[in-house]
Structure 1
Amino acid sequence: MNTQGAVDLSSLAPDPQGSQTPAPGGPSAAPASSQSGGGADSWVISVSPQELQQVVQLSAQVPVIVLIHGTDSDSERMRTALEDLVDAQQGRVLMAEIDASSPEMAQAQGADQVPVATAFIGGRPVGEFDKSVPQEQLGQLVSQMVQLATQNGMTQALPPQSKRAGGAAEEAEQELPPLHQKAHDALEQGDLDAAQAAYEEAIREKPGDEDAKLGLAQVQLMKRTSGVDLNDVRQKAAQNPDDPQAQTAVADVDVLGGHVEDAFSRLVKFIQLHQGDERETVRAHLVELYSVVGDSDPRVQASRKQLARALF
């Protein structure tokens, strides 16, 4: 995740050692300020800085995005895009919005650099991103958070935390195609095989379905990394630099953990130093990881150039 312009939330966020306990009252115990009038169900809430601790506690159950925003056009663009993406996850992600103009935000270093978002999983910040992230990449960031949470056994969904204007019309716009919804439901149940089958069926019905291809690549990554011992994977990769399986395995866990550039660089370096079937195995795996991250991601574009130089 891009950390340019990130706000230091250390003065507002709770002690990570004490943030693993869910907020009092269970998953639905969002701050009182989150409740609003009629409309479509939403998982976006407005909070004050004093309520941040309660919100971060919920990241022990689902990923939480804390967005600090202003009234400028960049804030509105990022805010609207993230609200749509979060609500599309139907409770797998929660977003808390903090108004940068509140007096309490004066204590947060860099709070004038809005909009900026911090992602929390398990009570700990796992990444930060700001307005420099292209809008089309925000969806990939939200998907990565859900993948990482699922990989760590966080498969439940929160009940709606607020309401959004728009009602049934807006809710209908967010409906997924039947097979995509089937895959989404399977992921909520932790059934990766069923999710893969649903995406594969969607691709057979519509070979040009890029969303299904992305979903399939992400599910396959989750399956490959399910239950792996991170220390063991890294140790094997260090001890076997010429083993394509060892190198692709550590690249998988790096991508899942957000270390995308490290994963790409590792595999490109392997391709530079090897020939034959081993080289082709790693090249094909690298191209698959490009699909997981998304072709529009600048890290993918940069790595493709490095791959071309390595091959030719």
Structure 2
Amino acid sequence: MQPRNMSMSGVVDLAAVKAAGEAKAKAEQARAEAARQAAQGGGTGPAAGAVPPSALVFDVDEAGFERDVLQLSAEVPVVLDFWAEWCQPCKQLSPLLERLTAEANGRIVLAKVDVDANQMLMQQFQIQGIPAVFAVVAGQVLPLFQGVAPEQQIRDTLAQLVQVAEERFGIIGLEVDPNAEGAAADSAPAEAPAGPHDALLEAAVVALDAGDLGGAVQAYKNVLADDPGNTEAKLGLAQAELLARVQHMNPQAVRAAAAENPRDPAAQIAAADLDLVGGHVEDAFGRLVDTVKVTFGDDRDAVRLRLLELFEVIGADDPRVSAARTALARVLF
């Protein structure tokens, strides 16, 4: 299932829910009451209303939707994860959403909706397939994406969600009490044993050195199957897949096709791969951003996804990636 294009510009009213103004008014009253209680208490601990980290991710059902999502959405953007126990892609996406929610530290919360137990909510949101991810801000719904999207793409979308909530609705999120579960966090086990991952990563490097790109790709995928957030494996996989794509290309023919067909997504994608392998990073990124401008639908999505893959090759901290993300955002939004 391919993720849909994500847009922050099309905010639409959620049918059959209370108006955003009413939800926001209730939240403002609650915040005012919490502030009064804090002032009367005069304590030096966290302000009244601070929540423990565990409260940032929760299950929601039809009965509690108004209280747990609509009213809360006046204080913090609520991300909705529509999932089911039988859905294998959901099992890949949900842990990632939970981790990114924890990293956001109160700027978003994650509400998990089991579609098998909440058919009415599934119908209200017009869910055609799962996993499907929405957000609710001040009682209004933002469709985010459907299917499993790359981690960086999800990070970017959540960052845009926070920005929209702050700039358009004045919503800044919840205060998190870092001490509420400090002991539990300190004693948390490592995400995965380091030994097997080290062995697999070493196997991938050996395969790359031997020119076995298929073996390297599979080794990195094996790591990511156990540890989807492994940065080294994600970077290695992106690089190995790039090398595999260009391995049998005819550079002259690829560049000629790109020059003759500036609106052809496949031609521009192939040329961008060659640009990156040749060290022309800005050229590769600029080529694909320009192609996003002149394409639509599935063609645009293919170009955008390849650009996100090339970002992974270079690394999120590279300033050229940051500049290209900004350029891409201007084109998309």
The answer to whether TM tops 0.5 is: no
Between structure 1 and structure 2, the one with the greater Rg is 2
TM (norm. structure 1) is 0.44
